[in-house]
Structure 1
Amino acid sequence: MRRRIALMFAGIAIMMPLLAGCKVEYAENMTSAENTEETQPADKVIRVRYSDGKYTEYLRYCEAEYEKNNKDIDIVPELVSSDNYVNNINNDSAAAENVPDVYMAVNSDLGTLYLAGLAYKNTSDKFTSENYCDVAINSCSYNGTLVAYPLSYKTSFLLYNTKYLTENDVASFAAMETYSENADFFSSEESAAVESVFRCEINDLFTNYAFVSPGLSIGGRNGDDASSFSIYNETTEAASKEYLSLIDYFSISARNTYNGCMKKFLAGKFLSVIATTDSLSTIADGKIACAAAAFPDYNSKLLTRPLSITTALVVNPYSQNVTDASKFAEFATSELAGELYSYTGMLSTHKNIEYDKEYLSQIYDSYAKSAPKNKLVYGEQVYPLLEIALHNIVNGDDIKEQLTSVDDYMKKQLN
């Protein structure tokens, strides 16, 4: 299968000219009065394709702002179905019909897109460590080359009640256990409604990936290196044991749903929970004084990394206006990054954004330590397999057996 895919990509790259040229004809003796009227050049059209309607208002805003200073550019956002999204970009580009000049993509698709010749290099000097964390840059890179413009991110983080907990109290799970042993607090009248210092859902990998993340390597730093792959090792086994201990200590059950945990947090019954960036509007509507922190480490030796997904803008090399498309992609992801949240409710990958609520800025710390979803061919398979393995481990199955099973299967697929 991999050979077929590779051949397909190679064929596409050979068959499709990178830039379409325009034939210009010159005529002599056309200087009479009736031929002196100047013809105004047509606007350059930059088509921006995306499949998530949450970005519509933001892209319209970017369109209006960009066109103010670029009168000859017509930005055209195009919302399409998510079905066969990547294939349709490929097919439209190959047919040279309705070619998107810029399109949105998640970081896990960037390997496929780059190998297919559908991702133009990002050479802007704006995308450095001064403005973006390493995770944002690595998420949008393939084999060390920056191939996209990081826009927004999703990840998980710790949300905690600042009436009772301080930053030091939630610095690690070990610190949280120490706090929960504070007998004076739990015997006080004001804590009567508190049920637990910490709770989380354990059924969804996106919220519990970090618990087993110490020692995990799925594609290396950029998520594109098949030789850097390890699911079972001594560190992941140690992390899994700590995970089971944590579940037991805080009496976490599979019956603790994500929505249930969030409701009890906002009601003041749970003092801290693992939340995701999908819940930002719910948090904003709540009345609990809260703060956010990076997903806690177990201790100073077992360091966690929550899973993250980065959405980026990609410039299509088959655009006839690659230079202008690149300028718009930079403008929408860098210069206007501070407006992204107000239009979409999503957080920008740009690290220097000031938000009106402090916890929104604090969530970036969790993104900055996160593990981006990988870009490996067949690499997406690891996540449901790992979720099943963790479910089995929680239910009492052998840690080594479960993680080794995922490790062995995936290495066969990747080699």
Structure 2
Amino acid sequence: MKIKKIVLPVISAVVIIAGVMLAFSHKSESQEEAVLSTDHKALEIWYTDEAFTDYLGSAAVDYQEKYGIRVRPVLKSGKEFLETILDSSLSEEEYPDLFLTTNDTLEQTTLSGLTTEILDEKGVVNLTTFPETAVNAVSYKGKVVAYPLSYNTSIMLYNRTYLEQAAAAILQAEKDAAEGEAAQQEVEEMEGELTPEPAVEGVTVTEEQVAAAEATEESQESPFTEEEIQAKAESLIPSSLTALAAFSDEYDAPEQVENVFYWDVADILYNYDFVGGYMNVGGECGDNEAEISLYNPDTVACMQAFQELNQQFSIDADTVKYDSVLEDFMLGKSIFTVVGVDAIGQIEKEKEEGVFPYEYGVCLLPDVTEDLHSRSLSITTAVCVNGFSQKLSEANAFAAFLTTEHADDLYTKVGQMPCKDQAVLPIDSLQVCRTEYQTSISMPKMMATTNLWMRLEIGVNQIWKGADVDATLKEIEDATKAQLTIDNSN
């Protein structure tokens, strides 16, 4: 999934201050009205991603049946979505009690008064229910300002059928080598001690004996157990990208395989893991302007290793597309690839329809090298309670319901992973996605870093094509820090 840059104009200091002041005064009045009012008008939740339509619709029905409160989901345009909510809230026109947004916008929503510290009357947002990554994603300046709902991150897929074929071939080669060594040793030990026996003439081999020999030979075609083959195949899954490159050198690929490793080198979501272990943009919560480190010895070393992979895999960054990457994997043209979590559901659907004839596996993203670790990027979708809502308690209760009681349907209906750790997963391999998310870093929230991802994506593309790593990373860091300085001076 391509990271979509949300074009949100930086709200001026005057507008933010006015919005916050109005938010507090309006909220104080609305809280009193909410307590005294007996109005049971439906809660309204706005969202921009059509993929959530079925999920929110079923949640609304379930919630009314359980708690007697109506909820009305409303699909809105993504263009100036947050500005529309703020404008309608300040003018007291029709506005939502809740809305969905990604975690990288939570600084803007908090500074404008659209989000404040959640009530969380049931105490659901904790490290028992959600991983630390999810809690960090919805935290701003030490306060939890939204409820973590779902996420997308990148994981590695591999063609299990191909790996098991390679594993069987390796086991056979090892067996043949061992038998050859044993036979050679036996010959050497017996050499000179044996007296040649006279040839036996007139021995007749019957058809029954030939058939028996052929049957024995056929039964010995696969002398290895399924467990042995699977264990060897798993040992072939690379722990680092340098190990993957070494595997590519030695692997005798089937005719239909065009690339051992094929991924979208142009999309930062599927390449951030190369530098994610050593790049710091705002700390773990992505909200600390003092923590900015994009250009350092480790990120340089990681990007140099990334650049060297171009010599091995020769992927054209100008023409590669995520959809074609996934399609090639499903056609058996590649063995390893990097995808978003929704790809697993797509492959399972293809398997059910008989279109995908292979077995596949899911694994964590490999490290860059044995010494340089990787760390993936994740994007968390949050349920936000509108700070201007007159039904704060009811809205918080529904947000808690969405993210906990109704979380099991998220992957089936939306194609995103539920943030809730205990949520039921419809596919066993999705557990790998959960593990990957737990160690990932969330998109930062600072408005001053909005353009960072465009700069980083452009920079990574330039590095892939051969640009100087030092100069490129330094330029990105300098531009980011300069933007922070400008924003702080306004």
Q: TM-score normalised to the size of structure 1?
A: 0.88
SS in 1 for 2:272: helix
Aligned positions of 1:16-27 closer than 5 A: 16=23, 17-19=26-28, 20=30, 21-22=32-33
Per-residue deviation, 1:280: 4.1
Deviating more after overlay: 200-209 vs 119-128: 119-128
Q: State whether residues 105 and 447 of structure 2, in contact with CA within 8 Å, keep that contact through their aligned partners in structure 1.
A: no
- Selected match of 2:325 from 261, 280, 299: 261
- 2:330 paired with 1:289: no
Identity of aligned residues (%): 29
Select which of 254, 259, 266 maps to 1:196.
Answer: 259
Q: Deviations over 1:260-290 (max 9, x none)?
A: 3222211222111011234344322332311
Alignment partner of 1:6 is 2:13: yes
Contact 1:293 1:365 in 2 (8 A): no
Name the residue aligned to 1:80: 76
Structure with higher RCO (Cα < 8 A, 6+ apart): 2
For 2:78 and 2:52, the matched residues in 1 are separated by 14
Deviation at 1:11, TM superposition (A): 1.1
Q: Tell me the C-alpha RMSD between the 2 structures.
A: 2.4
Equivalent of residue 321 in structure 1, options 391, 394, 416? 391
- Matched with 1:274 is 338
Hey, what does 1:109 align to over in structure 2? Answer: 105
Residue 180 (structure 1) aligned with residue 248 (structure 2) = yes
Cα distance in 2 for residues equivalent to 1:294 and 1:96: 48
How far did 1:199 drift?
1.7
Cα distance per residue 1:91-114 (max 9 Å; x no partner):
111112213111111101111111
- Kindly state the Cα deviation for residue 81 of structure 1 after the two structures are TM-superposed: 1.4
- In structure 1, how many angstroms separate the alpha carbons of the residues matched to 2:39 and 2:381? 32
CA drift of 1:74 comes to 1.9
Greater helix share, structure number? 2
Secondary structure, counterpart of 1:13 in structure 2: helix
Q: Deviations over 1:349-401 (max 9, x none)?
A: 12223323222222222222222111112211111111111122222221111
Provide the secondary structure at the position in 1 that maps to 2:161. Answer: coil
Conservation of the 8 A alpha-carbon contact between 1:354 and 1:361: no
What is the match of residue 32 of structure 1? none
Between stretches 275-284 and 238-247, larger displacement belongs to: 275-284
Q: Does 2:310 align with 1:247?
A: yes
Give the aligned partner of residue 133 of structure 2.
Answer: 135
The answer on whether the counterparts of 1:290 and 1:359 sit within 8 Å (CA) in structure 2 is: no
Partner of 1:61: 58
Q: Structure 1: any 5+ residue segments left out of the alignment?
A: 26-39
The alpha-carbon distance between structure 1 residues 201 and 129, as it changes in their structure 2 partners (threshold 3 A), is same
The residue matched to 2:475 in structure 1 has which SS? Answer: helix
Whether the 8 Å CA contact 1:44–1:321 is kept in 2: the answer is no
| More displaced 10-residue stretch of structure 1: 172-181 or 111-120 | 172-181
Q: Is 1:413 equivalent to 2:483 in the alignment?
A: yes
Return the alpha-carbon distance in structure 1 between the equivalents of residues 11 and 434 of structure 2: 40
Matches within 5 A, 1:338-353: 338-353=408-423
How many residue pairs get aligned? The number is 394
Q: Counterpart of 1:76 in structure 2: which amino acid?
A: R
Q: 2:11 & 2:116 partners in 1: Cα distance?
A: 23
Return the letter of the residue paired with 2:283. G
Equivalent position SS for 2:285: coil
Equivalent residue, structure 2, for 1:374: 444
> Could you tell me which of 94, 104, 120 is aligned with 2:116?
120
In 1, distance between residues paired with 2:467 and 2:451? Answer: 21
1:291, 1:359 within 8 Å by CA — same for their partners in 2?
yes
Preserved contact between residue 459 and residue 476 of structure 2 (Cα < 8 Å): yes
Pair 1:4–1:343, CA change in 2 (3 A): closer
Residue-by-residue CA offset, 1:328-360 (whole Å, 9 max, x unaligned): 000011111011122222221122233232222
Alpha carbons of structure 1 residues 296 and 103: separation in structure 2 relative to 1, 3 Å: same
- How big is the shift at 1:24? 11
Report the CA distance between 1:178 and its aligned residue: 4.1
2:148 paired with 1:150: yes
Cα distance change on mapping 1:133 and 1:301 into 2, 3 Å: farther
Task: Structure 2 unaligned segments of length 5 or more: list them.
Answer: 1-8, 164-232, 351-355, 486-490
Letter in 2 for 1:266: M
CA–CA distance in structure 2, aligned partners of residues 312 and 225 of structure 1: 20
Q: Offset of 1:300 from its aligned partner?
A: 4.0
Q: What is the alpha-carbon distance in structure 1 between the residues aligned to residue 471 and residue 130 of structure 2? A: 39
In the alignment, does 2:22 pair up with 1:15? yes
Alignment match, 2:454: 384
Task: State the match for 2:93 in structure 1.
Answer: 97
Query: How does the TM-score come out when normalised to structure 2?
Result: 0.75
| Between 321-330 and 394-403, the greater mean CA deviation after superposition | 394-403
Instruction: Give the stretch that moved more between structures: 90-99 or 324-333.
Output: 90-99
Question: Cα 1:216–1:45, aligned 2, differ >3 Å: closer, same or farther?
Answer: same
Provide the rounded CA distance (Å) in 2 between the counterparts of 1:148 and 1:409: 30
Q: Structure 2 residue aligned with 1:50, among 47, 51, 56?
A: 47
Secondary structure at the aligned position of 2:59 is classed as helix
Higher mean displacement: 206-215 or 62-71: 206-215
- Cα offset, 1:173, TM superposition: 1.9
Question: How many angstroms does 1:179 deviate by?
Answer: 3.2
For the structure 1 residues 92 and 249, does the alpha-carbon distance in structure 2 shift closer, same or farther, using more than 3 Å as the test?
same
Deviates more, 1:191-200 or 1:103-112: 191-200
Q: How does 1:197-216 map to 2 (within 5 A)?
A: 197-216=260-279
Shift of 1:136: 1.1
